[in-house]
């Protein structure tokens, strides 16, 4: 333990912790901006500076470790003044059109300004040019960027994709892809983790709420909405519920209030995915065990960011991916075929909206593969954050909503589907079904949880042996399925390198592109709670355990759907509607012409806001005025110099006169 004094208070802290952490543990808050606990501490913004007695300069508390006997002041005048100047300098190159910013009122820079008590910005100078780079999934607004580099850490160190990095130098520095490429044409996986950590409005999901409002207001359209499993355990946070509160019932009610015609559950399609994917795996295993050609390990395909990552980084290994579409595109395909027929509506008049914890899903629905009969499976994707905005903007009081259930027939789901939202969940759901199909017995784990693959570790593995199988699966007798589960693209990279080298020991791999799985996806509420993953994961498993049906193949809605429409899993119709293929892209998209850039003009600031810029003194006037001042100052300096010279000369003459006078005497 190290003993130190902060603001006159004697405290002790563990060796190695920073001043910032030690202060926090003792209920002293140091204002900060770039620091993000457990993720990113590089001291780039300097807002968290503190005075350390004996140190020459102020120290950034988020990177300065505590030392024995240290005396720290976090709130002295020099510190307060320094923070103020630092903040104002940040603002001097920040586009302060807050009213039109997506982060208005939940912006960390705004909050910091209030915290520091800043009501003016004294520094006016050159400003970075406004540049908006919109892709179908993520939009960058460089005039808002404060160069905190949280996104750089997330993109390079956590996800290890390395799309965002500082480019250029000094005032011209921007955080962006190589060669100033638009992000939609680079090999970004669109995981959106950068949008979760961005403190300001520089990185965000590309807005789809307007398109959804337009669809709802279009009376000729039947608007179908569906919600992903991870949304229900997180959206409550945006309505002041504690993290880890499950809001399924209220969520369904809110969607009905918003005016959607059908409120379905992506969980239904998750159960469908298990039927298809489980069958696909058994098929591949059978081929492998009977000496036929097949590709193992099979890898799950529910996470579109992960899919794009493989297409960019491992384009020669696409046949390892399950051919199953992701659950929400499956549901979209079913709505525009089975359900359209059932309700007698032309699929062209149906708009499918997906509420997803994900930014990559916005990209996924624009893929040419995700279409059937000329119609996209899903028309719009909004994130959890966007849905909360819509609910607030519609004036719906989320808290007072009564709970309701999803509409039939695509609204009933099992517990297995709920856990699709958390790392390990897809695999567990698949095993619950596959094991029982093969052996006729329940998966031999307490409470059906495959404990080795539950948790937040980067790579988890397990193996399960099939014994005493049913006669039709005799080829699987004594077969030990080796499985691996990973969350986050850095872990996926490790597993994929094994696959490429041919050293992968696994038969079945689950990958979710975001660390923790969908519960902390790129479209989820931003949270600084370091336990956020655990809380949302707990809520997910609780919801699973609370349901009467816990296995996908026992979902009566799924059984009925197969009887009525598809026939059997992996049948002809399944392949047409629910399975897909992938595109080789290559690390620099050199293998494809597909790009996902949105024309910047579409996202330009509307002309109607032009008058606002005129409120500020226009550039020309300022220049005139400042040049006059400069001219006068220069004249003044010159006159002073002349005066000094003259005085000097007078002094010299005076001395000469005195000397001469003296010598004469």
Partner 1 sequence: MKVVETRPDGKEAVLTDFSEINSLIDTYYAGRRDCLINILHAAQSIYGFLPAELQRFIADKLDIPVSEVSGVVSFYSFFSMKRRGKHTIRVCLGTACYVRGGKKLVDHLRKSLKIEIGDTTADGLFTFEIARCIGACGLAPAMMIDDDVYQQVAPARLDSILAKYKDEKGVEKA
Give catalytic residue positions.
277, 280, 302, 322, 361, 364, 369, 518
Helix, strand, coil content of the chain in percent (nearest 5):
45, 15, 40
Tell which positions 562-591 bind partner 1, by CB under 8 A.
587-588
CB-wise, 588 or 625, nearer to partner 1? Answer: 588
Output the CA–CA distances (angstroms, integers) from residue 586 to 136, 317, 521, 598, 618, in the order listed: 19, 11, 24, 21, 47
What are the two backbone dihedrals, phi and then psi, of residue 590, each rounded to the nearest 5 degrees?
-75, -15
Alpha-carbon gap, residue 424 to 122, rounded angstroms: 52
Tell whether residue 637 is a contact of partner 1 (CB under 8 A).
no
Instruction: Provide the token pair at 58.
Output: 């102020």
How many residues in the shown chain lie near partner 1 by CB under 8 A? 16
Tell whether residue 443 is a contact of partner 1 (CB under 8 A).
no
Alpha-carbon gap, residue 494 to 460, rounded angstroms: 12
Tell whether residue 163 is a contact of partner 1 (CB under 8 A).
yes
Tell whether residue 167 is a contact of partner 1 (CB under 8 A).
yes
CB-wise, 588 or 609, nearer to partner 1? Answer: 588
Q: Is 377 helix (H, G, I), strand (E, B) or coil?
A: coil
> Of the ranges 50-58, 171-179, 251-259, 453-461, which one interacts with partner 1 (CB under 8 A)?
171-179
Closest approach of Cβ 587 to partner 1, in Å?
A: 7
Tell whether residue 92 is a contact of partner 1 (CB under 8 A).
no
Tell whether residue 177 is a contact of partner 1 (CB under 8 A).
yes
Closest approach of Cβ 152 to partner 1, in Å?
A: 9
**Cβ atoms of 403 and 499 closer than 8 Å:** no
- Cis bond before residue 297 (omega within 30° of 0): yes
Alpha-carbon gap, residue 336 to 333, rounded angstroms: 5
Helices (H) and strands (E) in the chain, counts: 22, 21
Instruction: Provide the token pair at 162.
Output: 């390395």
Q: Which of 31, 176, 182, 425 binds partner 1 (CB under 8 A)?
A: 176
> Of the ranges 29-37, 157-165, 189-197, 296-304, which one interacts with partner 1 (CB under 8 A)?
157-165
Closest approach of Cβ 180 to partner 1, in Å?
A: 9
Q: Which of 164, 216, 228, 302 binds partner 1 (CB under 8 A)?
A: 164
Q: Which of 25, 29, 104, 178 binds partner 1 (CB under 8 A)?
A: 178
**Cβ atoms of 112 and 169 closer than 8 Å:** no
Alpha-carbon gap, residue 194 to 161, rounded angstroms: 11
Tell whether residue 26 is a contact of partner 1 (CB under 8 A).
no
Tell whether residue 165 is a contact of partner 1 (CB under 8 A).
yes
**Cβ atoms of 141 and 202 closer than 8 Å:** yes
DSSP 610: H
Partners of 140 in the β-ladder: 133, 203
> Of the ranges 163-171, 270-278, 345-353, 624-632, which one interacts with partner 1 (CB under 8 A)?
163-171
Partners of 485 in the β-ladder: 460, 510
> Of the ranges 167-175, 203-211, 320-328, 446-454, which one interacts with partner 1 (CB under 8 A)?
167-175
Q: Which of 26, 96, 156, 294 binds partner 1 (CB under 8 A)?
A: 156
Tell whether residue 515 is a contact of partner 1 (CB under 8 A).
no
> Of the ranges 104-112, 155-163, 336-344, 641-649, which one interacts with partner 1 (CB under 8 A)?
155-163
Q: Which residue has the tokens 């069958």?
A: 279
Residues that bind partner 1 (CB under 8 A): 156, 161-169, 176-179, 587-588
């Amino acid at each position: 333990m190290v003993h130190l004094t902060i603001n006159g208070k004697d405290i002790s802290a563990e060796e190695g912790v920073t001043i910032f952490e030690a202060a926090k543990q003792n209920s002293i808050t140091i204002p900060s901006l770039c620091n993000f606990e457990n993720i990113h501490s590089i001291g780039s913004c300097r807002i968290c500076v503190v005075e350390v007695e004996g140190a020459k300069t102020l120290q950034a508390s988020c990177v300065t470790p505590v030392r024995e006997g240290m005396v720290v002041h976090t709130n002295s005048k020099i510190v307060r003044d320094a923070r103020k100047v630092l903040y104002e300098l940040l603002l001097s190159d920040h586009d302060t059109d807050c009213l039109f910013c997506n982060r208005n009122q939940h912006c960390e820079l705004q909050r910091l300004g209030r915290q520091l008590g800043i009501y003016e910005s004294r520094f006016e100078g050159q400003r970075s040019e406004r540049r908006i780079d919109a892709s179908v999934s993520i939009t960058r607004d460089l005039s808002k960027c404060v160069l905190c580099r949280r996104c750089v850490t997330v993109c390079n160190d956590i996800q290890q994709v390395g799309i965002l990095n500082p480019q250029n130098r000094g005032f011209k520095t921007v955080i962006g892809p190589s060669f100033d490429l638009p992000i939609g044409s680079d090999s970004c996986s669109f995981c959106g983790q950068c949008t979760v950590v961005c403190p300001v409005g520089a990185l965000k999901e590309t807005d789809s709420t307007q398109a959804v409002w337009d669809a709802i207001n279009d009376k000729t359209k039947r608007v179908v909405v569906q919600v992903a499993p991870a949304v229900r355990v997180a959206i409550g946070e945006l309505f002041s519920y504690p993290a880890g509160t499950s809001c399924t019932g209220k969520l369904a009610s809110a969607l009905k209030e918003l005016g959607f015609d059908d409120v379905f559950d992506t969980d239904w399609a998750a159960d469908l995915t298990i039927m298809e994917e489980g069958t696909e795996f058994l098929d591949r295993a059978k081929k492998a065990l009977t000496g036929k050609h097949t590709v193992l390990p099979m890898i799950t395909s529910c996470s579109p960011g992960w899919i794009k990552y493989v297409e960019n980084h491992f384009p020669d290994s696409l046949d390892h991916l399950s051919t199953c579409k992701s659950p929400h595109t499956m549901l979209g395909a079913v709505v525009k075929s089975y359900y359209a027929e059932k309700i007698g509506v032309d699929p062209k008049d149906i708009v499918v909206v997906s509420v997803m914890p994900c930014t990559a899903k916005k990209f996924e629905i624009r893929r040419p593969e995700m279409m059937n009969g000329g119609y996209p499976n899903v028309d719009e994707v909004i994130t959890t954050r966007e849905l909360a905005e819509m609910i607030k903007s519609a004036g719906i009081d989320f808290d007072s909503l009564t709970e309701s259930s999803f509409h039939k027939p695509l609204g009933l789901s099992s517990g297995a589907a709920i856990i699709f939202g958390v790392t390990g969940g897809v695999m567990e759901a698949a095993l619950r079904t596959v094991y029982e199909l093969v052996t006729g017995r329940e998966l031999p784990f307490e409470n059906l949880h495959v404990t080795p693959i539950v948790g937040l570790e980067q790579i988890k593995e397990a193996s399960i042996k099939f014994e005493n199988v049913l006669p039709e699966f005799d080829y699987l007798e004594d077969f030990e399925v080796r499985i691996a589960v990973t969350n986050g693209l850095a872990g996926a990279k490790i597993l994929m390198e094994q696959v490429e080298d041919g050293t992968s020991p696994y038969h079945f791999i689950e990958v979710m592109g975001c660390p923790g799985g969908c519960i902390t996806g790129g479209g989820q509420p931003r949270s600084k709670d370091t336990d956020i993953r655990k809380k949302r994961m707990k809520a997910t498993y609780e919801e699973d355990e609370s349901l009467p049906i816990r296995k996908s193949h026992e979902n009566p809605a799924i059984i009925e759907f197969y009887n009525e429409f598809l026939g059997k899993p992996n049948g002809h119709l399944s392949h047409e509607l629910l399975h897909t293929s992938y595109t080789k892209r290559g690390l620099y998209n050199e293998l494809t012409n597909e790009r996902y850039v949105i024309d910047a003009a579409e996202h330009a600031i509307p002309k109607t806001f032009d008058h606002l810029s005129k409120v500020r003194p226009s550039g020309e006037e300022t220049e005139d005025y400042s040049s006059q001042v400069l001219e006068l100052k220069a004249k003044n300096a010159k006159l002073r110099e002349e005066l000094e010279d003259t005085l000097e000369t007078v002094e010299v003459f005076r001395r000469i006169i005195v000397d001469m006078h003296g010598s004469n005497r």
